Amino acid sequence: MDKYHETEYRRIFFIEDLPEPLTRSSTHLQIFDNYLPGTRLRLRSIRVPETKEWMYLFQQSMPASDVVNGVRHIAEIRLNNAEHTLLEHLEGNEIRKNRYFLDVEGVRVEYDVYLGPLWGLNRAIYTFSSEREMSEFVPGNGSDLEITNQGDLQDEQIYDKDFAFIQERVADLVGS
């Protein structure tokens, strides 16, 4: 991480369901992302169900270049309860999801199971330590649909959509 941000290298796939050995009752985090329309900002609240602990973040996400390619910069500020209370009026453009974690052949994978209007949407986010590692990665399951370069299918663009929208976009992508 440099002075202002951390660079993330990731590839994102739509998936049918959680892979074994994960189940919906496996250890996970509950994530509440509230996007500020027309900005690169979000207020993120994270709850650990086992301990009922909360963590609050104010984040800015920026593509590393004009080309959407899985590389982005994330700047974040950790908030205490009082700071979160001052900003919680920004909540409302929310995506809720449960996030599960698994290492697959040395690659960290985050699995998001969406809740609310996006119920039915599941994603796998493969996280890498470098752009080279990310570009050389060959996913093991050819049935998963990669959406890394689909800007309109990223969370900051779908907070006001539902699963029917996702299904229509998937049909468009598969059909093309």
The 10s digit of each residue's pLDDT in 42-70 is 999 999 999 999 999 999 998 877 655 78
The 10s digit of each residue's pLDDT in 102-114 is 998 888 999 999 9
In this model, does residue 74 exceed pLDDT 70? yes
CA 123 to CA 79: how far, in whole Å?
27
The 10s digit of each residue's pLDDT in 5-48 is 789 999 999 999 999 999 999 999 999 999 998 888 999 999 99
pTM of the model: 0.91
Paired with 98 in beta bridges are: 30, 113
User: Hey, what domains does the chain have and what are their CATH numbers?
Assistant: 6-175 (2.40.320.10)
